[in-house]
Chains A and B, each alone.
Chain A
Amino acid sequence: GNSVTQMEGPVTLSEEAFLTINCTYTATGYPSLFWYVQYPGEGLQLLLKATKADDKGSNKGFEATYRKETTSFHLEKGSVQVSDSAVYFCALSETGANSKLTFGKGITLSVRP
């Protein structure tokens, strides 16, 4: 079956530090890959996505590249802000409409001033 593995957390960084959150996956076929973010007290929001190999998703300064050869979708940001403090989930879905998502465990990011 499908699975998503995220690096263990939590992660604490100083403002303007570089961020990498690792994510690897196991899936049959060619899944779409996602990063979701959950701010305190809010629901999950789609941060970025990539639907095929070598695609790069980007949003709000975050980037992730779909690497089929390493089955990875690592999240990066060059300079984090305090407002980036949240829980980040990597997820995948099989291709097609209405496909259910398989999530990683999530990782808590805390950015200190």
Chain B
Amino acid sequence: GAVVSQHPSWVICKSGTSVKIECRSLDFQATTMFWYRQFPKQSLMLMATSNEGSKATYEQGVEKDKFLINHASLTLSTLTVTSAHPEDSSFYICSAVNFGPGYNEQFFGPGTRLTVL
């Protein structure tokens, strides 16, 4: 099946710094990628939809200036958490959509654990 990678798998940073998380589709091109946030023992909450070559679409309540998304190529989307604070500590998961005639499926990355001190 299709593979999606995330980098880094975990990161610890100081409050006030910015952190970039990469999401790559390794063996297919994805015009659409999604970014999710998962709190402990809770579901995945969609943060934004990332479309290649255009601006991301953010879900209600998600600060677009706080969570910058760039989808510069068909295989790479990045999420930058700007001026991170402890409340931004979470598990961030991306997915990439592989679709074509007769098929349409999201493939998920392994996630990135962000801890802000």
Contacts and interface: CB of A to CB of B under 8 A. Distances in A.
Interface of A: 36, 41-46, 89, 97-106
| Most A CB within 10 A of own CB, among B41, B93, B105 | B41
Contact of A43 (B4, B32, B42): B4
A43 B43 contact: no
Interface residues of B, number: 22
Interface of B: 4, 6, 31-32, 34, 41-44, 46, 49, 93, 95, 97, 99, 104-106, 108-111
B42 A44 contact: no
Nearest to B105: A46
Contact of B108 (A44, A97, A105, A106): A44
A16 to B, nearest CB: 28
Question: Interface residues of A: mostly helix, strand, loop or mixed?
Answer: loop
A88 to B, nearest CB: 12
A96 to B, nearest CB: 8
Of B95, B108, B109, most buried by chain A (CB within 10 Å of CB) is B108
9 contacts: A43-B93, A44-B108, A89-B43, A89-B44, A97-B97, A99-B104, A100-B34, A100-B49, A103-B43
